[in-house]
């Protein structure tokens, strides 16, 4: 359905179509003409002023200058210099440092009191500018959001504050458009065709001329290329380039997510050719200068459906301690810096795991075959050989390229069955492997005790598995058991990752660390205010550590409000990212931590392998084409992109699952509180829906951000984060992937937790 009435769509789509933002910005006739210069000879150095010098020259002049005037003032003379100078000025305009006024003169953006940043759209039509320089976001009213789309880079002039006290602005110029293609559903209304984007942050309807819709039919999901961006007086225009199909076609939710999030899912022709040239097995030449570990009974332990086996483990007793070997697939031997496979892997950043489908970072010839540590075949690896004492301290380690031979492909369920019931290990393979698995389990208990000792944060969580029918739709949602076999592998990987970080730091090799910082001052202050209301306090003053969090978690376990407190503590922490500046990992309680153990599916791990092997060879590694800081930002963004895409797919599948359950009653937990209502997560399903504030009873409810609660003005009824609640499914909107709940009849307007209406 359209988000606007047809009448409004027709009026807004036809208003002022002759105006163009380009015409408004075009130079006046008296502006000095720009001469076309010949490019400099290939390889010839061209010395032109830096960005700083250009900006300083404009600032000293005191008034805007034409490009030719500025070039003359800076001594730009030759055609080659002019070409390079114009390219630099254009780049400064794209980055928001300079802008061209209506007379064609260059201005320093900072002198115009303009703010440069990225537009963040909201489904309700308004948006925000997220400034490049930090500081508060600037509110953009719906009329301003007609000029740009979500993700565009723009300059904004602050115009005042809105009624909620937020800075408000007007878009002055769009510096760069973020959306070249848009995926959405095609609609037709009295001869007018338009697209409603799947990305709800793009609120504008996108007009599609009838002759540019190809063979697409109304109601189909399509990919459209934008041929005209939006402006104040007209909506964006697009042409259909690909029809994905009907909304409810099997697998359509994944196709939508791939297009919506611009996930690369086809390997380049060069990468395919390179993968085809790789051998099917380890060759004699590949074994040169590698440690032979084929005699050790290394095993892989993964989920039942896994096909890309990154890691294998072996553990033996060593005095009162342990010797642990973690062998990781040596992807870097086959994927070299800057080659076609590397370029594709860097673009993807990570494998994306959808329900029933994987978009791998590397072609399956590598991810599932040549690099995968499959049983009964030799594979190249990088081994981390660790000595761990009886207290769980890593007392020594070494990294070495090696060749290994996995003895078995084991599953978590299988291993935990043998460990919890040793008598069930009757087969010869099971009996042979059980002593090593018992060593791994004993090591896990030692490492877990050390983790608790250093104050690592451990939030309890239950994961759910989706079971599908033949059409690829959810049939059941069941709890996914997490047992000690999962924890064994987790602790082994943590140990290897810590050693990798320590090794690179000791040798002064730049790298990407997995960085997790503590709470911001603002979040910490809000957390302390909330805890004070519950009679609790977080130790550590203005700089609490993970140990302080862990102590508090231990205190609250068993309390009736433990879920609420754990949720608030978790939300006070920042998001983990990749960065070259090591500031430690707050949540795990490590001074230095990196990702080394999954190079088949994570690009940062592949970079770490290259850095370690460079150090082993007495060299240093610098990735081609980007700095470590740029790679950190890129890998963090691709990780979030993958998370958002998989979350979109799961949300759609869950909505589809709930379609037939309208009117049914469920128990759940309040997982989010906003001024417009309560988000509730259903027990055993991990499905979220909204109880709108109007469904809470005849009262005015006010949002208390500190207490994470909605409180009735008259009744003082209070609904808080993590409260238990019983709801009824009122509506499922598959197009918007939204589920609406109402209070179950037996709940009435009575809030949970016994906080009934009372007088004060």
Helix (H) or strand (E) holding 56: helix 51-61
CB 49 within 8 A of CB 90: no
Do residues 365 and 291 both lie within one domain? yes
Are 449 and 414 in contact by the 8 Å Cβ rule? The answer is no
Nearest C-alpha neighbor of 442 from the set 493, 498, 491: 491
Report yes or no on 561 lying in a domain: no
Out of 109, 127, 155, a domain closes at 109
Q: Say how many domains are in the chain.
A: 5
Q: Compute the distance between CA of residue 388 and CA of residue 396 in angstroms, rounded to an integer.
A: 7
pLDDT at 270: 97
449 shares a domain with 407: yes
Q: Indicate if 411 and 471 belong to the same structural domain.
A: yes
Point out which residues pair with 413 in neighbouring strands. none
Answer yes or no: is 540 within a domain.
no
Domain CATH number, residue 134:
2.40.50.140
What is residue 428's predicted lDDT score, i.e. its pLDDT? 78
CB 544 within 8 A of CB 518: yes
Range of the domain at 680: 662-754
Whether 542 is covered by a domain: the verdict is: no
In a domain, 572, yes or no: no
Tell me how far apart the alpha carbons of residues 269 and 673 are, in angstroms, rounded to a whole number: 49
State phi, psi for 250 to the nearest 5 degrees. Answer: -55, 135
Residues 337 and 425 in one domain: yes
Please indicate, yes or no, if residue 531 is contained in any of the structural domains. no
Residues 380 and 471 in one domain: yes
Domain end call among 127, 151, 176: 176
* Burial bucket for residue 703 (CB in 10 Å: 0-12, 13-18, 19+): middle
502 domain residue, yes or no: yes
387 and 284: one domain?
A: yes
Containing H/E element for 222?
strand 220-228
**Residues lower than pLDDT 70 in the chain:** 1-45, 102, 109-113, 460-462, 746-760
Kindly state the helix (H) or strand (E) to which residue 153 belongs, with its residue range: strand 153-161
- CA 180, 182, 186, 190 torsion-angle sign: negative
20 and 141 assigned to the same domain: no
Token pair belonging to 543? 């700089």
Kindly state whether residues 17 and 92 are assigned to the same domain.
yes
pLDDT, residue 644, reads 93
Confirm whether 516 is domain-assigned.
no
Identify the three-state secondary structure at position 757.
Answer: coil
d(CA 480, CA 490): 16
Q: Check which CATH number belongs to the domain holding 242 and give it.
A: 2.40.50.700
Q: For residues 709 and 638, what is the distance between their CA atoms, to the nearest angstrom?
A: 34
Write out the two tokens for 90: 């254009």
Do 169 and 183 lie in a common domain? no
- According to DSSP, the β-strands at 192-197 and 206-207 are antiparallel
Query: Quick check: 621 and 611 in contact, CB under 8 A?
Result: yes
CA distance linking residue 712 with residue 703, whole number of Å: 9
Q: What is the CATH number of the domain that holds 57?
A: 1.10.10
Shared domain for 157 and 229, answered yes or no, is no
Q: What is the pLDDT of residue 6?
A: 36
Using alpha carbons only, give the angle 413, 419, 423 rounded to the nearest 5 degrees: 105
pLDDT at 139: 94
| Residue 315 shares a structural domain with residue 382 | yes
Domain co-membership, 128 together with 160: yes
Evaluate whether 130 touches 117 at the Cβ level (below 8 Å): yes
Q: What is the DSSP letter of 179?
A: -
- Contact by Cβ (8 Å): 587, 578: no
In a domain, 649, yes or no: no
Last residue of a domain, one of 77, 109, 141: 109
């Amino acid at each position: 359905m359209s988000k606007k009435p047809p009448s409004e769509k027709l009026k807004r789509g036809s208003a002022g179509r002759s105006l163009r933002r380009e015409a408004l910005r075009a130079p006046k006739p008296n502006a000095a003409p720009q001469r076309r210069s010949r490019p400099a000879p290939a390889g010839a150095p061209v010395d032109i002023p830096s960005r700083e010098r250009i900006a300083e020259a404009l600032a000293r002049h005191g008034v805007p200058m034409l490009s030719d005037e500025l070039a003359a003032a800076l001594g730009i003379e030759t055609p080659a210099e002019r070409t390079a100078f114009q390219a630099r000025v254009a780049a400064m305009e794209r980055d928001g440092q300079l802008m061209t006024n209506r007379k064609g003169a260059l201005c320093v953006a900072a002198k115009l009191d303009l703010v440069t940043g990225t537009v963040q759209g909201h489904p309700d039509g308004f948006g925000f500018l997220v400034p490049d320089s930090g500081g508060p976001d600037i509110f953009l009213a719906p009329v301003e959001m007609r000029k740009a789309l979500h993700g565009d880079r723009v300059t904004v002039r602050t115009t005042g504050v809105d009624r909620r006290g937020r800075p408000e602005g007007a878009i002055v110029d769009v510096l760069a458009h973020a959306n070249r293609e848009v995926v959405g559903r095609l609609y037709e209304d009295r001869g007018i065709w338009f697209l409603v984007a799947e990305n709800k942050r793009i609120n504008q309807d996108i007009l599609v001329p009838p002759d540019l819709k190809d063979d697409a039919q109304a109601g189909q999901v399509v990919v459209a290329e934008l041929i005209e961006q939006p402006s104040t007086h007209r909506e964006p225009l697009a042409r259909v380039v690909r029809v994905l199909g009907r909304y409810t076609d099997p697998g359509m939710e994944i196709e939508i997510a791939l297009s919506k999030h611009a996930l690369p899912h086809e390997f380049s022709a060069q990468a395919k050719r390179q993968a085809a040239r790789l051998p099917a097995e380890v060759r004699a030449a590949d074994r040169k200068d590698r440690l032979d570990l084929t005699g050790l009974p290394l095993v892989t332990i993964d989920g039942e459906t896994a096909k890309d086996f990154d890691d294998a483990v072996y553990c033996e007793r060593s005095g009162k301690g342990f010797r642990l070997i973690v062998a990781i697939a040596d992807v870097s031997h086959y994927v070299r810096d800057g080659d076609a496979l590397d370029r594709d892997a860097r673009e993807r950043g990570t494998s994306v795991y959808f329900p029933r489908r994987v978009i791998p970072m590397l072609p399956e010839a590598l991810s599932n075959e040549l690099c995968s540590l499959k049983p009964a075949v030799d594979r190249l690896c990088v081994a981390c050989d660790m000595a761990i004492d009886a207290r769980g301290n890593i007392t020594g380690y070494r990294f070495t390229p090696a060749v290994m031979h996995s003895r078995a492909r084991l599953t978590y369920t299988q291993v935990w069955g043998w460990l919890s019931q040793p008598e069930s290990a009757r087969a010869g393979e099971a009996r042979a492997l059980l002593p090593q698995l018992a060593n791994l389990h004993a090591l896990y208990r030692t490492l877990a005790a050390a983790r608790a000792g250093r104050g690592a944060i451990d939030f309890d969580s239950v994961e759910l598995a989706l079971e599908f029918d033949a059409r690829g739709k959810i049939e059941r949602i069941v709890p996914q058991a997490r047992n000690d076999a999962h924890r064994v592998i987790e602790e082994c990987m943590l140990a290897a990752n810590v050693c990798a970080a320590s090794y690179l730091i000791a040798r002064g090799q730049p790298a990407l660390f997995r960085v997790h910082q503590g709470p911001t001052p603002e979040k910490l202050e809000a957390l302390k205010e909330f805890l004070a209301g519950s009679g609790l306090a977080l130790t550590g003053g203005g700089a609490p550590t993970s140990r302080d969090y862990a102590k508090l978690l231990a205190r609250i376990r068993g309390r009736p409000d433990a879920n609420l407190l754990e949720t608030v503590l978790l939300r006070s922490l920042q998001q983990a990212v990749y960065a070259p500046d090591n500031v430690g990992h707050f949540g795990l309680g490590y001074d230095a931590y990196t990702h080394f153990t999954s190079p088949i599916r994570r690009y940062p791990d592949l970079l770490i392998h290259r850095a370690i092997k460079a150090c082993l060879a007495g060299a240093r590694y610098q990735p081609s084409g980007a700095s470590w800081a740029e790679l950190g930002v890129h890998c963090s963004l691709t990780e979030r992109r993958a998370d958002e895409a998989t979350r979109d797919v799961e949300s759609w599948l869950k909505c589809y699952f709930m379609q037939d359950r309208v009117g049914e009653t469920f128990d759940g937990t309040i997982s989010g509180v906003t001024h417009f209502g309560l988000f509730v997560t259903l027990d055993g399903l991990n499905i979220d829906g909204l109880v709108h504030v109007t469904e809470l009873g005849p009262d005015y409810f006010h949002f208390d951000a500190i207490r994470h609660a909605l409180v009735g003005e008259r009744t003082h009824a209070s609904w808080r984060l993590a409260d238990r609640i019983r709801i009824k499914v009122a509506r499922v909107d598959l197009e918007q992937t939204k589920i609406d709940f109402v209070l179950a009849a037996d709940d009435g307007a009575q809030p949970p937790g016994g906080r009934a209406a009372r007088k004060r």
